[in-house]
């Protein structure tokens, strides 16, 4: 017993480790240490039978009440070579955990590079020594920037004069990226230690943007942070940012938690994109956290947040209308190029079974003959969404999900895009033996095949056949395939590019003069109230890929067009699209949202349950609803009955959800905080024995 007594010089520290919210261990665990520690320090501590990485969160003068000092375990190794994570970073993580209803340790430790968790002190010292040797020189010659346009100059002048969150509302091709570059350039010039965080929605945009920043800032450290990096790369880039060697960090949503001790500017490019909202684990919005982080950083050193988009989210637009954000408009395109003219193709007047209107095909032929490029948008990959037998009604359903397996003709497989189950295409109907099973619907693979046939006789200016290519998740699986396909497009080796929404995000194609949307109507009447907003943004962003090089368009003597095939040409969405009038569209949508008290006028959360049976999932949600009576904020909430999710079974797991709505964000947050321990206790009820997991999604993007 004498050996277990802590020395009189011992100090007590609360350490945050990775513990699930339902573990009941709380946000932190108390350890003793024989030497002084600093909040934010990285340490190794015993947890059960293993040793794990932890973050010192707070220091204590004495152990908490009820804790036996003799039984308190000691902190192990301390990663002294790494400076502590500063207070502002810890406040950001604590806020995210609290607001999105996750365990503090889950958010804090997931924000660190995974490779850091297993590094020993000696290994870390070697890595840091290599980083110090490879640090960029403190001075050098950066490449000179192009002259700014009047819109860009005006935006930059306004940015210099404000610290308020800024919504940069710039049409596609207006040069928003140049504003980001010049704003970063000014900071790096004025403050030799300043750091800049630039966020993009998708990994496929990171190399393109990184190349522009590296070209502009040759004398500064530029690194990226995204899930496409290897563990070693991610650790190296995180360390260079944390140590201040990297002056500019580019990344996807995970980068919002990067440790940047001298952060002065946060840029969120394409801020409207739903990819900024995580759909797993801590379901956080990186865009919203960027605004919050800038405010935290400004308590120490002024930090600005710049949200850029040609089609801002309605939440950001509403915030600007209220004066919480400063809205800057950049309505003109670089070089004075015109925005695409809308050409609606009324499918009611096309020949029966028409997939691509003859007039649209002819327009592609004419443009290819002049050396111009066309972009065809269809937001569905694969050859066809489903195979079917018309004799017995069989469909290619996934055996593990309540969804169809998608037909991929190129390798003759049926693939479930939800659980990944893959099987070979049957030679005949598995139920009745009918040999005539046919594809229903169309995907990018089929459109690529049909266009190749329709354009078989068309020729490029050099007399070569027209080349059709495809860009989607299936064609960019292998390393380097995305870069290769984009390079072919930029080099003019592709005449018609077929792709999903990934082709509409930020790519700077110089020779595209025609953009076509094939299957547009799915978003017009979807049950999701956000569907019109997503469709309008997608069409506007896709249209923005056309006519970006005004000199090329003028030289060709061509027109820039957006073709949209639809069965409902009179829909009001297309009237706003024809005028490129996002403000009018946003005003109409916000009016509808206000009438229904939908976000941003109301606030929502979803509770999702997964169980072995649908009955168990809904039973747990029903009990959860009943258990919420009397909790703080309950009188200001509406709890709707539990229902199955749209895809209710995935990988043999049944899913259900329950919606919470409130006009008051504080009331919703107070209720959720009080509800968490109640929900954890419900796991042990016999009625919900089949429950596998549950999660709360605050500010959900889809219902």
The model's pLDDT over 226-251, given as tens digits with 9 standing for 90+, comes to 988 999 999 999 999 999 999 999 99
Q: What is the CATH number of the domain that holds 303?
A: 3.40.50.300
Judge if 236 and 369 occupy the same domain.
no
**Is the pLDDT confidence value at 1 over 70?**
no
B/e letters for 35-64, b = 16+ CB within 10 Å, e = fewer, are eebebbbbbbbebeeeebbbbbbeeeeebe
Taking residues 462-466, report their average pLDDT. 95
pLDDT at residue 19 in the model: 76
Percent of the chain scoring above 90 in pLDDT? 72
The residues pairing with 394 across neighbouring beta strands, listed in sequence order, are none
pLDDT of residue 399: 96
pLDDT confidence of residue 136: 55
Dihedral over Cα of 321, 325, 326, 329: its sign: negative
Report whether the peptide linkage leading into residue 600 is cis, meaning its omega lies within 30 degrees of zero.
yes
Mean local confidence (pLDDT), 280-292: 95
d(CA 130, CA 291): 34
Q: Please give the pLDDT value at position 506.
A: 76
Mean pLDDT of all residues in 184-202: 93
Chain segment 525-538, per-residue pLDDT in tens: 888 899 999 999 99
Q: What is the largest CA-CA distance in the chain?
A: 92
Residue 125 domain-assigned (yes or no):
no
What are the DSSP calls for 311-335, one per residue? S--HHHHHHHHHTSSEEEEE-SPGG
436 dihedral zone (left: phi>0; alpha: psi -120 to 50; beta): beta
- Structural domain for 227, as ranges: 150-334
Q: How far apart (Å, rounded) are the C-alpha atoms in residues 42 and 30?
A: 15
pLDDT in tens, 294-336: 999 999 999 999 999 999 999 999 999 999 999 999 998 888 8
CATH of the domain at 655: 3.30.70.360
The answer to the question of residue 118 being in a domain is no
Calculate mean pLDDT across residues 51-67.
Answer: 86
Dig out the tokens for 78 from the structure.
């301390």
The residue count of the chain comes to 703
Average pLDDT over the chain reads 91
**The two structure tokens encoding residue 61:** 């003068």
Q: What is the pLDDT of residue 140?
A: 45
Nearest to 22 by CA among 679, 698, 696: 679
Show the tokens assigned to 276.
């900024």
The mean-pLDDT minimum among 253-262, 367-376, 475-484 falls in: 475-484
- DSSP β-ladder status, 248-251 and 222-225: parallel
Residue 215 included in any domain:
yes
Task: Say if residues 48 and 2 touch (Cβ distance below 8 Å).
Answer: no
pLDDT score at 60:
87
CATH at residue 104: 3.40.1440.60
pLDDT confidence bin for 139, thresholds 50/70/90? very low
172 shares its domain with 275:
yes
Per-residue pLDDT band for 143 (boundaries 50, 70, 90) equals low
Of the candidates 559, 574, 594, which is a domain's last residue? 594
- Judged against a pLDDT cut of 70, whether residue 87 lies above it is answered with yes
CA dihedral (675, 676, 677, 682) positive or negative: positive
Q: In this structure, what token pair is assigned to residue 680?
A: 């954890």
What is residue 368's predicted lDDT score, i.e. its pLDDT? 96
Residues 455 and 569 in one domain: yes
pLDDT, one tens digit per residue, over 37-53 is 999 999 999 988 889 99
Q: Which stretches does DSSP call E strand in 117-247?
A: 166-170, 195-199, 222-225
- E-assigned strand segments in 26-178: 29-33, 42-47, 50-60, 166-170
Residue 129 included in any domain: no
Determine phi and psi for 342, rounding to 5 degrees. Answer: -80, 130
Domain match, 244 and 392 both = no
**Side-chain-side CA neighbours of residue 226 (13 Å):** 21
| pLDDT value for 703 | 83
CB 335 within 8 A of CB 551: yes
Regarding whether 471 and 416 lie in a shared domain, the answer is no
Residues 491 and 531 in one domain: yes
pLDDT of residue 8: 52
Please tell me whether residues 342 and 480 are part of one structural domain: yes
Question: CA-to-CA distance for 370 and 461, rounded, in angstroms?
Answer: 6
Both 70 and 168 in a single domain? no
For the segment 12-35, the average pLDDT, to the nearest whole number, is 81
φ and ψ at residue 179, rounded to 5 degrees: -65, -45
The pLDDT of residue 496:
97
Q: How is residue 426 annotated by DSSP? A: P
- The model's pTM is 0.93
Quickly list H helices, 529-581.
Answer: 531-543, 550-556, 572-578
Residue ending a domain, choose from 594, 621, 637: 594
Q: Locate 370 and state its tokens.
A: 């002049």
Q: What are phi and psi of 315, to 5 degrees?
A: -65, -45
Answer whether residue 586 shows pLDDT above 80. Answer: yes
Given this model, what pLDDT does residue 5 score?
46
Give a yes or no: residue 131 inside a domain.
no
Give φ, ψ of 303 to 5 degrees.
-135, 135
In the structure encoding, which two tokens stand for residue 388, read together? 């079917």
- Considering the domain boundaries, does residue 138 fall inside one? no
Are residues 424 and 399 both part of a single domain? Answer: yes
**Coil/strand/helix, residue 649:** strand
Give the DSSP H/E element, type plus range, for residue 224: strand 222-225
Last residue of one domain, picked from the residues 574, 594, 614: 594
Are residues 260 and 343 part of one domain?
Answer: no
Query: Residue 24: what pLDDT?
Result: 59
Q: What is the pLDDT of residue 557?
A: 85
3-class SS of residue 372: coil
The CA–CA distances, whole Å, from 561 to 360, 478, 501, 503 equal 11, 33, 18, 17
Q: What own/partner pairs with CB < 8 Å and gap ≥ 24 does 586-592 have?
A: 586/312, 586/314, 586/317, 589/314, 589/532, 589/533, 590/314, 590/317, 590/318, 590/321
Which of 423-432, 472-481, 495-504, 615-624 has the weakest average pLDDT? 472-481
Do 358 and 507 share a domain, yes or no?
A: yes
Q: What integer is the mean pLDDT of 625-637?
A: 95
**Residue 135 clears pLDDT 80, i.e. is over it:** no
Q: Assess contact for 339 and 333: CB atoms under 8 A.
A: yes
21 pLDDT above the threshold of 60: no
pLDDT (0 to 100) of residue 4: 44
At residue 152, the pLDDT reads: 93
Is 358 among the domain residues? Answer: yes
Torsion angle of C-alpha atoms 263, 268, 269, 275, degrees rounded to 10:
130
Q: How confident is the model at residue 2 (pLDDT cuts 50, 70, 90)?
A: very low
Same domain membership, residue 356 and residue 467: yes
Residue 561 lies in a domain: yes
The number of domains in the chain is 5
pLDDT of 218 strictly over 80: no
Which of 353-357, 638-642, 682-686 has the weakest average pLDDT? 682-686
């Amino acid at each position: 017993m004498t050996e277990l007594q802590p020395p009189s010089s011992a100090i007590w520290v609360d350490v945050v480790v990775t513990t699930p919210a339902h573990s009941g261990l709380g946000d932190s665990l108390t350890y003793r240490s024989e030497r002084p520690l600093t909040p934010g320090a990285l340490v190794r501590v015993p947890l059960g039978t293993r040793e794990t990485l932890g973050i010192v969160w707070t220091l204590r003068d004495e152990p908490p009440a009820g804790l036996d000092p003799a039984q308190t375990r000691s902190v192990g190794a301390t990663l002294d070579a790494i400076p502590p994570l500063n207070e502002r970073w810890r406040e950001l993580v604590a806020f995210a955990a609290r607001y999105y209803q996750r365990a503090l340790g889950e958010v804090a430790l997931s924000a660190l590079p995974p490779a850091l968790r297993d590094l020993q002190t000696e290994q870390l010292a070697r890595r840091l020594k290599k980083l110090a040797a490879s640090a960029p020189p403190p001075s050098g010659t950066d490449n000179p920037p192009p002259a700014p346009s009047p819109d860009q100059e005006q935006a930059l002048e306004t940015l210099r004069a404000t610290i308020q969150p800024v919504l940069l509302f710039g049409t596609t091709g207006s040069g928003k990226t140049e504003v980001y570059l010049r704003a970063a350039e000014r900071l790096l010039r004025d403050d030799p230690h300043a750091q800049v965080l630039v966020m993009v929605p998708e990994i496929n945009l990171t190399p393109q943007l990184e190349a522009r920043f590296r070209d502009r800032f040759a004398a500064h450290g530029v690194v990226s942070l995204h899930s496409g990096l290897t563990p070693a790369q991610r650790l190296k880039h995180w360390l260079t940012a944390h140590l201040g060697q990297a002056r500019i960090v580019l990344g996807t949503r995970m980068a919002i938690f990067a440790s940047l001790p001298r952060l002065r500017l946060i840029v969120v490019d394409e801020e409207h994109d739903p990819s900024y909202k995580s759909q797993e684990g801590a379901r956080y919005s990186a865009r919203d956290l960027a605004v919050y982080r800038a405010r935290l950083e400004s308590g120490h050193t002024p930090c600005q947040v710049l949200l850029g988009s040609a089609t801002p989210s309605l939440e950001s637009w509403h915030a600007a209308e209220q004066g919480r954000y400063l809205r800057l408009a950049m309505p003109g395109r670089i070089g004075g190029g015109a925005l695409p003219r809308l050409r609606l193709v009324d499918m009611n007047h096309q020949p029966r079974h028409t997939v691509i209107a003859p007039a649209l095909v002819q327009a592609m032929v004419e443009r290819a003959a002049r050396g111009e490029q066309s972009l065809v948008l269809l937001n569905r990959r694969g050859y066809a969404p489903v195979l079917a037998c018309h004799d017995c009604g069989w469909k290619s359903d996934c055996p593990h999900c309540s969804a169809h397996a998608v037909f991929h003709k190129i390798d003759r497989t049926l693939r479930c895009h939800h659980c990944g189950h893959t099987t070979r295409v049957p030679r005949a109907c598995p139920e009745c033996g009918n040999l005539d099973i046919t594809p229903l619907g169309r995907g990018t693979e089929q459109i690529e095949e049909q266009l190749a046939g329709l354009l078989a006789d068309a020729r490029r200016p050099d007399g070569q056949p027209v080349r059709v290519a495809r860009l989607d998740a299936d064609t960019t699986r292998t390393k380097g395939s995305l870069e290769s396909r984009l390079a072919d497009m930029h080099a003019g080796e592709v005449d018609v590019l077929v792709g999903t929404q990934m082709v509409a995000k930020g790519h700077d194609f110089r020779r595209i003069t025609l953009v076509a949307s094939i299957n547009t109507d799915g978003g017009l009447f979807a049950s999701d109230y956000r569907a019109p907003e997503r469709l309008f943004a997608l069409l506007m962003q896709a249209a923005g890929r056309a006519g970006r090089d005004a000199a090329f368009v003028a030289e060709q003597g061509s027109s820039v067009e957006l073709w949209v095939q639809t069965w409902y040409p009179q829909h009001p969405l297309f009237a706003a699209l024809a005028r490129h009038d996002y403000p009018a569209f946003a005003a109409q949508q916000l009016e509808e949202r206000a009438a229904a008290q939908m976000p941003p006028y109301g606030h929502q959360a979803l509770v999702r349950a997964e169980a072995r049976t649908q009955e168990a999932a809904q039973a747990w949600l029903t009990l959860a609803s009943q258990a919420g009576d009397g909790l703080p904020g309950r009188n200001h909430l509406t709890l709707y009955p539990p229902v199955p999710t749209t895809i209710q079974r995935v990988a043999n797991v049944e899913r259900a959800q329950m919606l919470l709505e409130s006009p008051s964000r504080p009331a919703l947050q107070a209720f959720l905080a009080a509800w968490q321990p109640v929900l954890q206790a419900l796991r042990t009820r016999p009625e919900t024995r089949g429950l596998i997991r549950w999660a709360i999604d605050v500010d959900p993007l889809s219902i």
